Chains A and B, each alone.
Chain A
């Protein structure tokens, strides 16, 4: 890791020498090993090593950004010079003040698991072979797709303001998508598991669960076009909540292209909804001690009893709004510039179980998986319930075919009248189900 940090610092020095007012450099060296399953057969194995570096340089507030897919002193310096050349061509930006100063960073434990990083492809092949067997034990005509993989790597960030941080991380995932086709009646579903530590990953049962859920999707039917209550399962909750928090990014808000502009400190949802961000959970999927600019992250309530407590800031938007950075600068790798995004999201569970929420619905919809994500600009949503069930007399009955909803973020969030006490948990992430009082549904029924 120290070599990567040395390289990042060399790039910073080169950018300063080339005329940058301030700058930062990020580099990473990662490896990913994956196994792919197609048509119920192990089909393909790959090992992908990716190395690269990027430099962000500023002149009079104008930003130049440059990337290179090499990790050498020569390429780092060349990349730095290019970034400064870009910055010189950019318009001045008076809203840019400076990059963040170093802060106290407390290490989050267990973001890297040596045992997991040391696995060879044979282990993933075994996981996948077992997943196929599990699915076939449930339905011998099941067609299984999916795969498994592990990634690990090092990254380093240095800046002209003195930030010099490095970290090592690992992750693993397994997923199966199962298809059952009975004379043209097709049921499909998926299941997955992800973790940063081998001990947290549970490959067993993924293929079996996906196959059982696929069978449950057979004989799907339309429902009546009507306004009805909708219960979002944990994965549908994740999509809705994730998109709402995504629309609270301060850059989009400040530039007037977010539907949550002007809503900070206001009630945007039912008082039942509280969303915590917990970036420091040991081994959390999206945990990190510092953000993409090196600003320390900290836990906070992003939505507290329905109130949007804060926008998500990086250093640029924080200075523009005259507030402290909130630690939400994001980098998805060396090849992309700095954006804004949250870490681990946890929806605070409610009092009734999911089953109790369902039992209280005479006629409605259960959305197991659906892209119910209000558009980040308009706040409107018109989309399909991809996998779900009709609710009749308090019970899940037939799976859905061609069923859409039309709504707005305002209506969906304001209409939450129940959050389940039971939930799906991934490392660092908590996803209960939620009930929305009334939503317009369209179908062929």
Chain B
């Protein structure tokens, strides 16, 4: 394989490519779906292929194949060169890549138990047991849907700088959604455990505690009332903090958005952009998080990135291209969903650093506000810096305690204004938002977290008009 890859990259250079890289992947996976007491849908997948990218006179061309043979890779090279040249007359802002020292490395999968060594029957039984706990929790639980998936494979990243990295990876994940119903009210809760690692991740789950708590959360929401609409001081939990830092802020720190004129952070390096209580980092080297990796998909070693330090913008997340455009060193943030996609700038494990406030103190000083817990979904229009985050639960805060339980709440705002109104930062960080992030049509494993935060004057979209701003 090495000889074949070297030959293709060498030919790319001979035929006029200023830069070329090739990613070759092979893998397999299994998934099990258990719903309403039946593990009646089991799937097996096999993936394979290669993606070849070339840069010719400032113009990028890309062509993948699912069949890794010399003939197919040469066809990819023909196509990628033709693609690059098709656009070259209209490139007004030429593409480029930062020079990098070649890296040669082999990375083994970090798994204690290879899921392929666990019988399919045992994997099915384990997920069945998890679903069973939630299903039998209460008569008002009307649906449980547990799914398991594992994947194991290899990825070779090679480029014309001489980089050749072969990475093995194993991932396991389990997700559970529980729906509860009382009269006409139907509510649900969702939880997942997903990260690089082996079957020990699944064995480490206590079904009673883990699945039981998901069912309890769905059941509790049946007694919650619709959230109010208006402006509130809010305390957000680490999961909502993760959602906020990833969606509202993190996408603005991706340097491809900065270069493209789509980021509110463009041109603000070294300036105060938010509350001095806020420090934000992205770190793919943290063990045990969903967005962790050793090398990115352009062959750059993973490292921690300081983005905001005490409210001051320190830097961005870069690919080889964005680093070159800004005259900086690449910092290992380009990843691709699979061989059929090109690497783009992605976050890994993004978080706000801990402050020094105890949650009890924050609650005591936020009477009349809302406590928001459990991030569901979020998105951002980076150019305007306008984001929306949807949460699972909210409570009114009375006398320093959660009081009325609320449901169906989102909050929204302008990212930097919102982060400037952070005036209390909790003293403990947790990562609790492992999931998949969508960008440019690609999905990528990421994680996010942080401490509890208090934010002043946040607009909450609920169904009852009782908040400030009436």
Q: How far is the CA of A169 from the CA of B85 in the complex (A)?
A: 28
**Which of A90, A143, A408 is the most central at the interface, judged by chain B CB atoms within 10 Å of its CB?**
A90
Residue from A224, A402, A407 in contact with B459 in the complex, judged by beta carbons closer than 8 Å: A402
Partner of B45, one of A66, A181, A443: A66
Q: Given the known A-B contacts A226-B465, A384-B461, are A46 and B342 also in contact in the complex, defined by CB atoms under 8 Å?
A: yes
| CB neighbours of A330 from chain B (8 A) | none
Asked, given contacts A48-B340, A404-B410, A406-B229, whether A121 binds B40 with beta carbons under 8 Å apart, the answer is no
Given known A89-B124, A121-B83, A257-B188, contact A44–B60 (CB-CB < 8 A): yes
A-B contact pairs, 9 of them (CB 8 A): A38-B260, A49-B65, A61-B40, A64-B42, A66-B43, A66-B45, A143-B261, A378-B187, A382-B461
Q: A45-64 CB contact bits vs B (8 Å, 1 = yes)?
A: 11111111000000001111
Per-residue contact bits, chain B 1-38, to A (CB 8 Å; 1 contact, 0 not):
00000000000000000000000000000100001101
Contacting residues, chain A, for B181 (C-beta < 8 A): 256
- CB pair B461 A42 closer than 8 Å: no
Contact of B410 among A86, A179, A384 (CB under 8 A): A384
Cα distance, A131 to B188, chains bound together (Å): 45
Please give the distance in Å from A39's CB to the nearest CB on chain B.
5
Interface residues on A, range: 35 or more
Q: Does A285 contact B (CB under 8 A)?
A: no
Contacts of B262 in A (CB 8 A): 143, 145, 179
Bound state CA distance, A440 and B143, in angstroms? 31
Nearest CB in chain B: distance from A332 CB, A = 13
**Contact of A337 (CB < 8 Å), options: B41, B59, B90, B259:** B41
Contact across chains for A383 and B86 when beta carbons are under 8 A apart: no
Quick check: B66 and A51 within 8 Å, CB to CB? yes
Q: Is A319 at the interface (CB under 8 A from chain B)?
A: no
Chain B residues with CB below 8 A from A38, complex form: 93, 256, 259-260
Report the tally of A-B residue pairs with Cβ distances under 8 A.
Answer: 278
Interface membership of A442, Cβ < 8 A = yes
Q: Out of B39, B43, B185, B260, which one reaches A65, CB within 8 Å?
A: B43
Are A181 and B261 within 8 A (Cβ)? yes
Contact of B61 with A by CB under 8 A: yes
Are B39 and A39 in contact, CB atoms less than 8 angstroms apart?
A: no
When the two chains form their complex, are residues B229 and A225 in contact, meaning their CB atoms are under 8 A apart? yes
Decide: A82 near B40, CB < 8 A? Known: A121-B82, A225-B470, A405-B461.
no
Query: Beyond A51-B66, A85-B44, is A383–B90 a contact (Cβ under 8 Å)?
Result: no
Distance between Cα atoms of A85 and B145 in the complex (Å): 22
Which single member of B35, B259, B465 contacts A227 (CB below 8 Å)?
A: B465
Residues in chain B near residue A227, CB distance under 8 A: 465
CB of B84 within 8 A of CB of A408, answer: no
Residues in chain A near residue B465, CB distance under 8 A = 225-227, 440
Asked whether A255 lies within 8 Å of B40 as measured between CB atoms, the reply is no
User: B41: which of A82, A90, A442, A445 is its contact (CB, 8 Å)?
Assistant: A90
A402-B261 CB under 8 A given contacts A89-B42, A257-B143: no
Smallest CB separation, B462 vs chain A (Å): 4
Q: Is B229 within 8 A of A440, CB to CB?
A: yes
Residues of B within 8 A of A224 (CB): 469
Q: Does B231 contact A (CB under 8 A)?
A: yes
Q: Which residue of B lies closest to A188 (CB)?
A: B383
B309 contacts chain A at the CB level, 8 A cutoff: no
Q: Are B388 and A384 closer than 8 Å at their CB atoms? A: yes
Is there a chain A Cβ closer than 8 Å to B400's Cβ?
no
- The smallest C-beta distance from B38 to any residue of chain A, in angstroms, reads 5
A79 nearest CB neighbor, chain B only = B46
- Going nearest first, the 9 A-B pairs with the smallest beta carbon separation are A404-B461, A442-B229, A45-B83, A41-B93, A143-B261, A121-B86, A256-B142, A46-B62, A69-B66
Which chain A residue has the least Cβ–Cβ distance from B43?
A65
Kindly report which residue of chain B lies nearest to residue A145, judged by CB atoms: B260
Q: Known contacts A42-B59, A65-B41, A257-B142; can you find 6 more A-B pairs with CB under 8 A?
A: A38-B93, A42-B92, A47-B62, A64-B44, A85-B120, A380-B226
Let me know if A65 and B42 touch, CB within 8 A: yes
Q: Does A166 contact B (CB under 8 A)?
A: no
Quick one: given A122-B86, A225-B469, A406-B227, are A143 and B460 in contact (CB under 8 Å)? Answer: no
**Chain A residues near B80 (CB, 8 Å)?**
47
Q: Is the CB of B43 within 8 A of A337?
A: yes
Determine if B459 and A383 form an interchain contact, defined as CB atoms under 8 angstroms apart. Answer: no
Measured CA separation A374–B93 after assembly (Å): 42
Known A70-B48, A85-B44, A444-B459: A402·B414 in contact at CB below 8 Å: yes
Is B49 in the interface zone, CB < 8 Å from A? yes
The answer to the question of A386 belonging to the interface, with a C-beta cut-off of 8 Å to chain B, is yes
Q: How far is the CB of B321 from chain A (nearest CB, A)?
A: 9
User: CA–CA, A98 to B403, complex, Å?
Assistant: 52
| Nearest B-chain residue to A65, judged by Cβ | B43
* Chain B residues within an 8 Å CB radius of A85: 44, 120
Taken residue by residue from 82 to 121, chain A's Cβ proximity to chain B (1 for < 8 Å, 0 otherwise) reads as 1101110111110010000000000000000000000011
Which residue of chain B has its CB nearest to the CB of A408?
B463
Contacts of B256 in A (CB 8 A): 38
Expressed in whole angstroms, the minimum distance between the Cβ of B127 and any Cβ of chain A is: 11
CA distance A380 to B391 in the complex (A): 12
A305 to chain B, nearest CB (A): 23
Contact A442 B230 (CB under 8 A): yes
Chain B nearest CB from A182 CB (Å) reads 12
B64 close to chain A: CB less than 8 A: yes
CB pair A89–B67 under 8 Å, yes or no, is no
Proximity string of chain B (365-407) to chain A, C-beta cutoff 8 Å, 1 when within and 0 when not: 0000000000000010101111010100000000000000001
User: Shortest distance in angstroms between B102's beta carbon and chain A's nearest beta carbon?
Assistant: 24
Which residues on the A side are within 8 Å of B326 (C-beta)?
Answer: none
Q: Is B413 an interface residue (CB 8 A)?
A: yes
How far is B378's CA from A404's CA once the two chains are assembled, in angstroms?
13
Closest Cβ of chain B: how far from A29's Cβ, in Å?
A: 10
Q: In the bound complex, what is the Cα–Cα distance between A404 and B413 (angstroms)?
A: 10
Question: Contacts of A86 on B, CB cut-off 8 Å?
Answer: 30, 42-44, 120
- How far does the Cβ of B423 sit from chain A's closest Cβ, in whole Å? 18
Q: How far is the CB of A428 from chain B (nearest CB, A)?
A: 23
B461, A67: Cβ atoms under 8 Å? no
Complex Cα–Cα for A199 and B465 (A): 50
- CB-CB under 8 A from B286, the residues of chain A are none
B458 CB, nearest partner CB in chain A, Å? 10
